[in-house]
């Protein structure tokens, strides 16, 4: 690794009012390296990256690019200096085509008064094909979230960058797409571009990066060569304490009686002939590639999407579920994968969020009983360890992990028999993640049936007692016993046929 | 830590019971200060301002519109909007008036008129929730259609209703112990709906739906029903306002209420209702319409040309929304 530092960050601090988000942090990026930046949510990673990308101004400190001090006052200035950022949250124009989005910066800089669409599409397709063959004439809004993420990445690739920042780029990607992205990132490195890679996923960091820097609570902790540390080391530095076990203990002994029995469920389009049984005390994982139909099955079971065929039994009793209200009454609740859009009410209070699922319970004479509402919200939020100001504060004031806990508190408020959790820890830091895992295991032990959908294989295997793999809307097989990632991937991708038991 | 102890630690239940409570209360206090300041200034500027006659006229003028504002506020909170309220007010007048002229007793005629207004709301609700159009376009169409209906029913000429029995006219013109019935009705409706909006379970669903429709659906709330009934409520209250106007004026003019919807929406927004849904209070909206009414009255007393009035009102709206935007941005 030669050529010295392309980007030097020295003693950068950032205050938001009284809150200190960054305290004199340092960060050195060498030319042509892939440098991982780790830390729990709130550690200050995103704040620092926003400063580097010109979105926020630092309170104090110095940034040097190629040895020269620079002032990065706006995103446009950052681009001019050759600093690109792939946002964690998708920031695309949903009504414009893929091509228009990818080349937005180029179009903005263009002098000609009229658009040249054929050239635009040709150029965009060339960039897009390096990641995935998504037709660039399609509207971005019509794409799946994972494809939108790829477009976001393609957009950054068009900029002529010296430094490229990836902020959790794989959160919504499948395994194959992730691998494609890694190839691209390595290609960029070959071309001398320096990369900052933010992620929570240790496996990715250790597969891709050269060095890793850890932040904790807005402070710099350490920088190491990847070859010289282990994932355990890094996690320990992130949380500042020993996490002896990443996942809670699995179920000891046999699971109990059947809690939820789904038989030959079909929706006539996205999935068909799905049958499975969830037993008391166990956590059942639903695996498969993005788009395999896992979420659709969950929505079908909960009455959030119509089904054409099949039956559902809870505790051996058949239940008719026409809409979600029926499901809630039968004790089946669904935690959405998309927290911001369908999980929480950001501008409403924490208490009001927790009550949303079953207002009838809190209603006396047609009025919401406030005392009951507050008691319920406080009890559940305390139990889940939600870090918050007041119970009347809007949910938007909480961090991602705490927002997710509020969403879970909402599910628990109805004392459910079965909770289907779709990507329960997406975009949540390591600490909160393991708290949620622990909580799931406790709930299961209390007799609540838990179904977990996760695209993160280590999590799926770590938390579940048993995994059903979905492929093309059908059950491809079941993985039990000593579960391996390989077994799940084989079933999910259809390699190696249908074997029902993988030891 | 015991539960009761923890409860002491959290902020007291906020006024709206939902969100931005302290912020909402701050805005309402601000509006009250502005209105009072304006009143004090005007009482020096014009000898006629602080007279009972003028105050009463102001109260009367915004009382009836205030009933419409209540419905509009709830609709704005659910994320909708109704441009047809002016037309519906007129529609209720015209239907009530022509039923009466056909020989029905005025009370029955008014019930039919309010029912017809509710039907207009149901029609809009159908197009919004079943067909899937948005509130803006649907109510824009309804505004024109209903206005057309008024002209058709009356053949374009005002209905003279001087034969209305005095006990009916009393609603709009009479008073109880010196307080006009109109104001009593208005206060009852405002207090009732302000309370319900803050406390009733049914109205809580309005906030959920307006704040995040998808999340509300994923909480088992039947959001289409909520939107439908709120649309009906808004039109029904407009119909009620219409029949009160009929009683007050003893006439039904097919061009009455043109442009009223803008005044109503402006009032609700000045009072803190969000055009994107999820936020708003009845009390704030009423302060909004009170402010507009005081301004109008002041301008008349100051002999400012009527041509200036709309411009000034527009500027007030712009100022209110800008301040709101500024405060919200500061907060986050």
Contacts of B222 in chain A (CB under 8 A): 323, 325
Cα A259 to Cα A331: distance, rounded to the nearest angstrom: 11
Domains A5-239 and A246-331+416-502 share a fold: yes
Name beta bridge partners: A260.
A278, A314
Cα B77 to Cα B26: distance, rounded to the nearest angstrom: 19
Residue-by-residue DSSP string for A198-214: E-S-HHHHHHH-SEEEE
Per-residue pLDDT of chain B (332 residues; tens, 9 = 90+): 333 333 333 333 333 444 444 555 677 888 899 899 989 998 888 888 888 888 888 888 889 999 999 999 999 999 999 999 999 999 999 999 999 999 999 999 999 999 999 999 999 999 999 999 999 999 999 999 999 999 999 999 999 998 999 999 999 888 888 889 999 999 999 999 999 998 899 999 999 999 999 899 888 899 999 999 999 999 999 999 999 999 999 999 999 999 899 999 999 999 888 888 888 899 999 999 999 989 888 888 888 888 888 888 888 888 888 877 776 654 44
Which pLDDT score is estimated for A319?
92
Which pLDDT score is estimated for A464?
92
Q: What is the DSSP letter of B131?
A: I
Torsion of CA A401, A403, A408, A411, to 10 degrees: -170
The 8 Å CB, 24+ separation contacts for A383-391 are A383/A409, A383/A412, A384/A408, A384/A409, A384/A412, A384/A439, A385/A435, A386/A350, A388/A350, A390/B10, A390/B11, A391/A349, A391/A350, A391/A351, A391/B10, A391/B11
Which pLDDT score is estimated for A85?
86
Q: What is the ipTM of this complex?
A: 0.77
Q: Across the interface, which of B21, B201, B207 has its CB nearest the CB of A367?
A: B201
- Phi and psi at residue A314, to the nearest 5°: -115, 125
The 8 Å CB, 24+ separation contacts for A178-187 are A178/A204, A180/A131, A180/A132, A181/A131, A181/A150, A181/A153, A182/A207, A182/A208, A184/A130, A184/A131, A184/A153, A184/A157, A185/A34, A186/A34
Q: Which residues contact B44 (CB under 8 A, 6 or more apart)?
A: none
Cα B98 to Cα B160: distance, rounded to the nearest angstrom: 10
Tell me the nearest-neighbour CA distance from B149 into chain A, angstroms.
38
∠ CA A167-A172-A176, rounded to 5°? 105
Using one digit for the tens of pLDDT, what is the confidence trace for A371-404?
A: 999 999 999 998 888 888 888 888 888 888 889 8
Query: Which of B18, B198, B217, B218 to probe the A interface (max A CBs under 10 A)?
Result: B218
Per CATH, the number for A5-239 is: 3.40.50.300
Per CATH, the number for A246-331+416-502 is: 3.40.50.300
Residues of chain A where predicted confidence (pLDDT) is lower than 70: 1-3, 17-19, 41-42, 88-89, 109, 241-245, 494-503
Cα A314 to Cα A303: distance, rounded to the nearest angstrom: 14
Which pLDDT score is estimated for A19?
66
Q: What pTM value is reported for the model?
A: 0.75
B307/A contact by beta carbon, under 8 A: no
A342/B contact by beta carbon, under 8 A: yes
Which pLDDT score is estimated for A36?
94
Name beta bridge partners: A469.
A287, A477
Tell me the nearest-neighbour CA distance from A260 into chain B, angstroms.
20
Cα B125 to Cα A288: distance, rounded to the nearest angstrom: 41
**Inter-residue contact B67 to B186 (CB < 8 Å):** yes
**Inter-residue contact A354 to A380 (CB < 8 Å):** yes
Residue A366's CB is within 10 A of a number of other CB atoms, namely 11
Q: Which residues contact B157 (CB under 8 A, 6 or more apart)?
A: B254
List b or e across B196-227, with b for residues whose CB sees 16 or more CB atoms inside 10 angstroms: bbbbbbbbbbbbbbbbbbebbbbbbbbbbebb
Residues A370, B202: C-beta atoms closer than 8 Å: no
Q: Tell me if residue A13 falls in helix, strand or coil.
A: strand
B103/A contact by beta carbon, under 8 A: no
The two three-digit tokens of residue B325, written as one number: 């935007």
Q: Tell me if residue A165 falls in helix, strand or coil.
A: strand
User: Domain boundaries in chain A?
Assistant: 5-239, 246-331+416-502, 345-414
């Amino acid at each position: 690794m030669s050529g010295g530092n392309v980007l030097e960050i020295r003693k950068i601090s950032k205050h938001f009012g009284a809150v200190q988000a960054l305290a004199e942090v340092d960060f050195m990026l060498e030319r042509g390296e892939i440098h991982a930046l780790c830390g729990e949510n709130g550690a200050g990673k995103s704040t620092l990256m926003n400063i580097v990308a010109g979105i926020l101004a630092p309170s104090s400190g110095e940034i040097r690019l190629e040895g020269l001090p620079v002032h990065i006052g706006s995103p446009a200035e950052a681009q001019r200096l050759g600093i690109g950022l792939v946002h964690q949250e998708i920031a695309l124009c949903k009504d414009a085509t893929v091509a228009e989005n990818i080349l937005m910066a180029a179009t903005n800089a263009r002098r000609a008064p009229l658009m040249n669409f054929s050239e635009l599409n040709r150029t965009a397709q060339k960039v897009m094909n390096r990641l995935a063959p998504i037709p660039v004439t399609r509207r971005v809004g019509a794409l799946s979230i994972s494809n939108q993420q790829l477009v976001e990445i393609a957009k950054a690739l068009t900029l002529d960058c010296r430094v490229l920042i990836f902020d959790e780029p794989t959160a919504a990607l499948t395994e194959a797409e992730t691998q494609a992205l890694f190839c691209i990132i390595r290609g960029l490195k070959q071309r001398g571009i320096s990369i900052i890679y933010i992620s929570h996923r240790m496996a990715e960091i250790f597969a891709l990066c050269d060095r890793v820097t850890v932040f904790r609570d807005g402070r710099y902790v350490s920088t190491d060569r990847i070859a010289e540390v282990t994932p355990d080391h890094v996690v320990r530095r992130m949380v500042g304490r020993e996490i002896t076990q990443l996942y809670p203990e699995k179920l000891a002994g046999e699971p109990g009686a059947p809690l939820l029995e789904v038989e030959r469920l079909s929706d006539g389009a996205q999935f068909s002939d799905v049958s499975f049984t969830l037993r008391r005390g166990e956590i059942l994982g639903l695996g498969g590639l993005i788009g395999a139909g896992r979420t659709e099955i969950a929505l079908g079971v909960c009455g959030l999407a119509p089904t054409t065929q099949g039956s559902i039994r809870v505790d051996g009793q058949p239940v008719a579920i026409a809409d979600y209200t029926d499901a809630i009454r039968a004790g089946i609740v669904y935690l959405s994968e998309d927290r911001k859009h369908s999980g929480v009410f950001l501008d409403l209070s924490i208490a009001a969020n927790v009550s949303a699922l079953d207002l009838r319970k809190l209603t006396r004479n047609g009025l919401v009983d406030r005392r009951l509402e507050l008691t319920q919200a406080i009890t559940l939020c305390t139990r889940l360890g939600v870090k918050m100001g007041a119970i009347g504060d809007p949910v938007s004031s909480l961090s991602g992990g705490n927002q997710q806990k509020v969403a879970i508190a909402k599910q628990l408020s109805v004392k459910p028999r079965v909770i289907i959790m779709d990507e329960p820890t997406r975009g949540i830091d390591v600490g909160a993640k393991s708290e949620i895992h622990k909580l799931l295991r406790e709930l299961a032990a209390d007799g609540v049936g838990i179904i977990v959908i996760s695209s993160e294989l280590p999590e799926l295997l770590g938390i579940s007692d048993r995994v059903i793999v979905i492929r093309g809307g059908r059950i491809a097989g079941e993985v039990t016993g000593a579960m391996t990632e390989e077994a799940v991937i084989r079933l999910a991708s259809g390699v190696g046929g249908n074997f029902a038991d993988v030891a | 830590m015991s539960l009761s102890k923890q409860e002491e630690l959290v902020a007291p239940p906020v006024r709206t019971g939902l969100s931005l409570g302290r912020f909402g209360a701050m805005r309402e206090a601000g509006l009250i200060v502005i209105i009072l300041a304006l009143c004090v200034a005007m009482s020096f500027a014009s000898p006629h301002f602080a007279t009972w006659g003028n105050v009463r006229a102001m109260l009367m003028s915004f009382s009836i519109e205030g009933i419409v504002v209540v419905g509009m506020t709830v609709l704005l909170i659910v994320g909708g909007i109704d441009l047809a309220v002016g037309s519906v007010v007129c529609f209720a007048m015209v239907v009530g008036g022509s039923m009466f002229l056909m020989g029905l007793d005025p009370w029955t005629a008014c019930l039919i008129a309010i029912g017809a207004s509710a039907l207009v709301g149901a029609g809009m609700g159908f197009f919004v929730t079943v067909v899937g159009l948005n509130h803006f376009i649907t109510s824009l169409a309804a505004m024109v259609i209903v206005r057309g209906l008024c002209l058709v029913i009356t053949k374009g000429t005002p209905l003279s209703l001087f034969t209305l029995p005095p006990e009916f006219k009393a609603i709009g013109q009479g008073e109880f112990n010196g307080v006009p019935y109109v104001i009593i009705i208005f206060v009852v409706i405002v207090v009732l709906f302000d309370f319900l909006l803050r406390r009733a379970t049914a109205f809580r669903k309005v906030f959920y739906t307006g704040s995040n429709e998808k999340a509300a659906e994923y909480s088992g709330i039947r959001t289409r029903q909520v939107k439908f009934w709120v649309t009906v409520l808004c039109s029904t209250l407009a119909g009620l306002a219409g029949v009160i106007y009929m009683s007050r004026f003893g006439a039904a003019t097919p061009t009455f209420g043109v442009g009223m919807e803008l005044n109503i929406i402006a009032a609700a927004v000045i009072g803190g209702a969000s055009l994107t849904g999820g936020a708003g209070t009845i009390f704030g909206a009423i302060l909004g319409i009170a402010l507009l009414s005081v301004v109008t009255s002041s301008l008349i007393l100051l002999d400012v040309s009527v041509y200036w009035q709309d411009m000034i009102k527009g500027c007030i709206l712009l100022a209110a929304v800008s301040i709101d935007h500024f405060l919200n941005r500061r907060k986050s």
